[in-house]
Chains A and B, each alone.
Chain A
Amino acid sequence: NAGVMQNPRHLVRRRGQEARLRCSPMKGHSHVYWYRQLPEEGLKFMVYLQKENIIDESGMPKERFSAEFPKEGPSILRIQQVVRGDSAAYFCASSPPGQGQSPLHFGNGTRLTVT
């Protein structure tokens, strides 16, 4: 049973470009969370999605950031017109339905560097 898969592992973008981060949850998991980890800081919640629905995006910056979790395929975190401050590790986590009782499972993250 494969774990949470994130790709790419490392992504380098120039300022102004777009970054697309992908997350395939564990088999049977329909809940996806995105977190951002800045150096020397804890993980900060960005968005929580279920299939085809954004449930909570209270941690997502209002501009340039968007997320989706389509019926088919991985969840995508999209950052438009990246700036240096977007450089961070972005982690995806998933959980099954009835997610309150189950642990979160994390992927290995995508490390975004904006030059």
Chain B
Amino acid sequence: KQEVTQIPAALSVPEGENLVLNCSFTDSAIYNLQWFRQDPGKGLTSLLLIQSSQREQTSGRLNASLDKSSGRSTLYIAASQPGDSATYLCAVRPDTGNQFYFGTGTSLTVIP
């Protein structure tokens, strides 16, 4: 069974810093991996989707990388802003099966 771990569980940084969030998964037979953000009391907003054949995806200040063989993905946030404060979740879709497996998230606080 796929297990997804996110480290750290919580992170607090001053505004303007670059930061990296980590996601690891136990089974490298994945179809794709998706990063989300979740604001308190809200749903999940899709940030980036990386197919298993890709190494990275970029959107604005966000860059996600995927190393399938080692079971790792990172989300890099450049020049962090207070509006980036949220919980960041990664989800893995295996090669077989229909469900996405989620990590428990990293709670990010960007201090003005």
Contact = CB atoms under 8 A, between A and B. Distances in A.
Interface of A: 4, 6, 33, 35, 40-45, 48, 55-56, 58-59, 91, 93, 100-109, 111
A91 B38 CA distance: 12
Contacts of A93: 44
A104 B41 CA distance: 19
B76 interface: no
Contacts, number: 59
Interface-centre pick from A33, A35, A42, A101 (highest chain B CB count, 10 A): A42
Contacts of B81: none
Interface of B: 4, 31-32, 34, 36, 41-46, 49, 51, 89, 91, 93, 97-105
A104 B99 contact: no
Contacts of B100: 33, 45, 104
B43 A58 contact: no
Given A43-B44, A43-B91, A103-B49, 12 more contacts: A42-B89, A42-B103, A43-B89, A45-B101, A48-B99, A100-B93, A103-B46, A104-B46, A104-B100, A106-B45, A106-B46, A109-B43
B31 A100 contact: yes
A1 to B, nearest CB: 14
